[in-house]
Amino acid sequence: MNSPSFNHLVTNMLAAHPGERVCQFEYEGKKYWLKQTERLQGAMRLLKADPHQSFLKEVRVLQRLAELQAPVPKLIQADEHYLVLEDVGPTVNQWLSAPGLEPACLQSILNDSAKALAGLHKMALAHGRPALRDISWQQGRVTFIDFEANQQGSNLLMQQIRDLLVYIHSLYRYLGPAEQMIGEAIKHYRNTGGERVWRHTQTLLAGWQWLGFLLRPFRHRGGRDLKPIYWVLRSFRAEQS
């Protein structure tokens, strides 16, 4: 966008929020996100990668994915120290806590997210961390945010397997043992192009099914990250066909 009034607003936002990692603003009724290079302090400068290089990499990844027509937020502006993204609506985990949301509507949102992940994998891409908080849904359109996967030089299949495991773990983390609802979402992933990755994941987890018996006592009373592991293993063990 090359509107002088929009550019002026971005300049004002940068001045009002110096060094703030992420902030939201509105322009002509639409929402946008302003992201700036992370500023590290103290020991974090030694523990984390160069934030400026990480920021530039994020911009390059967004540009490349947009060229491939992947479901990512539209990059409106970018320079050496900041970028502006178009808002893509609430994330799936936010929809889960939306008051008055009908179960059928929630199921549709989950199914759409699963189908979108399968579509991403069919494009020979991976996300890296497709938890429900990193997947947005707005009027049937699914968008992935905060890509972490290294699309080059790594085993793409293993990245996609990790995607699927993170996604299913996140479903159980937020929904609990809602096996029917989650099972329907998984079915959508498999039926819309994800079957190959599903099969490879199932094969990989076959040697880890013993862990499910150890985790069974914690399936209802473990931590939010521990409990889902049992249900993730179960979902692959239960479906052998």
Q: Contact at 8 Å (CB) between 113 and 132?
A: yes
Low-confidence ranges of the chain (pLDDT < 70): 39-50, 149-154, 222, 238-241
Distance CA 55, CA 36 (A): 8
Q: How many residues does the chain have?
A: 241
Predicted pLDDT at 149: 61
Report how far apart, in Å, the C-alpha atoms of 149 and of each of 13, 37, 58, 104, 221 are. 30, 19, 11, 32, 32
**Residue ranges matching CATH 1.10.510 in the chain:** 92-238
CA distance 163 to 144: 12
Q: Listing from the earlier edge strand, what are the strands of the sheet with 22-27?
A: 22-27, 30-36, 82-86, 75-78
Q: What is the DSSP letter of 156?
A: H
Q: Looking at residue 241, what is its pLDDT?
A: 45
- How many whole angstroms separate alpha carbon 26 and alpha carbon 157? 39
Tell me what pLDDT residue 240 has.
47
pTM for this structure?
0.88
The verdict on domain 92-238 having CATH code 2.40.30 is no
CA–CA dist 74, 42 (Å, integer): 34
Kind and range of the H or E run holding 135: strand 135-138
Residue with tokens 């099972």: 183
Collapsing DSSP states into helix, strand and coil, what is residue 138?
strand
pLDDT value of residue 179? 87
Structure tokens at 159: 């990245």
pLDDT value of residue 91: 98
Is-contact 52 124, C-beta < 8 A?
A: no
The segment(s) of the chain belonging to CATH 3.30.200 are: 4-86
Is 3.40.50 the CATH classification of the domain at 4-86?
Answer: no
End-to-end CA distance of the chain: 50
Q: What Å distances lie between residue 87 and 22, 75, 183, 220, CA to CA? A: 12, 10, 30, 36
